[in-house]
Structure 1
């Protein structure tokens, strides 16, 4: 766009990699800072507020909206992403799709008593080291450490298995289906 605003690009259609936007909520606490993590609704793992781009909002505004909806937060959000990470999103069909997430730091200035997803998620303010160690995605862990300007000692870095590829997820589903069908066939025979 010619007026200097960031164009809203949305996720891709079809079978390609999808894109989401996320807020990295932080606040000053004493001499350091804290980061807010939220639990995901389905797997209950620790994540940051994220969602799909919105047609009526710029990407950083959509990330701020997700921070409000998922955690009841208000704040000042930067207009350009600090970085990105990828994860495998489990779809309703059971298939997996690789999603790239653009992350926008947000300085939290207020917390609401109620918000749309209250009761569906757990919220936790933690130190940057705790936040980095709590998330499963290695790229998000590194992004949090880089944002907070911390080095994670090698002995504190959990050994993480790489996220399964969409092909691996499909093969695992096929294996489970074959196992179920084989069990039925054996009971009938």
Structure 2
């Protein structure tokens, strides 16, 4: 890590919905600053377990109400630059089974939210390490008849967080 670079640990929710056909759909949101497609994520919240904090982020960023699983499915990383400082972020991801989406929520005017197929989510998310993590966790649900070219960024962890 460079001298002007900081490191930040965050939690993220992978919001999933089993549709009427038994298929799995994914919710993605846009990042406020860049508009890139990501999953709801944010800092740990004092007094909440990591999976509970991930569920809170999904509520605030996408209006999603659901149950987050207490086991982390993996970690992805990215870097961001704010006020001339580079921050290296590690995000522990927790699956969230979505029960409903509210009509109004805290950041509704600041973000777009999309409910989409797994294949669409994989094509939209900007982070290759996040796409790899989603693909590895949900690979049994991929609808494509053609095998995808494997994404294997060396900086993604699929172990318990």
TM-score normalised by the shorter chain: which range applies? 0.7 to 0.9
- SS in structure 1 at match of 2:89: strand
TM-score normalised by L of structure 1: 0.70
Matches within 5 A, 1:1-189: 16-29=6-19, 30-91=21-82, 93-149=83-139, 150=142, 153-154=148-149
Q: Deviations over 1:4-31 (max 9, x none)?
A: xxxxxxxxxx965210000000101223
**Structure with larger Rg:** 1
- Structure 1: any 5+ residue segments left out of the alignment? 1-13, 163-189
Q: Of Structure 1 and Structure 2, which has the larger fraction of its residues in helix?
A: 1
TM-score normalised by L of structure 2: 0.82
- Structure 2: any 5+ residue segments left out of the alignment? 156-161
Q: Of Structure 1 and Structure 2, which has the larger fraction of its residues in strand?
A: 2
Say what the alpha-carbon RMSD is for the aligned residues. Answer: 2.2
Q: Deviations over 1:22-45 (max 9, x none)?
A: 000010122311000000111000
- Count matched residues: 144
Q: Which one has more relative contact order, counting CA pairs under 8 Å at least 6 apart?
A: 2
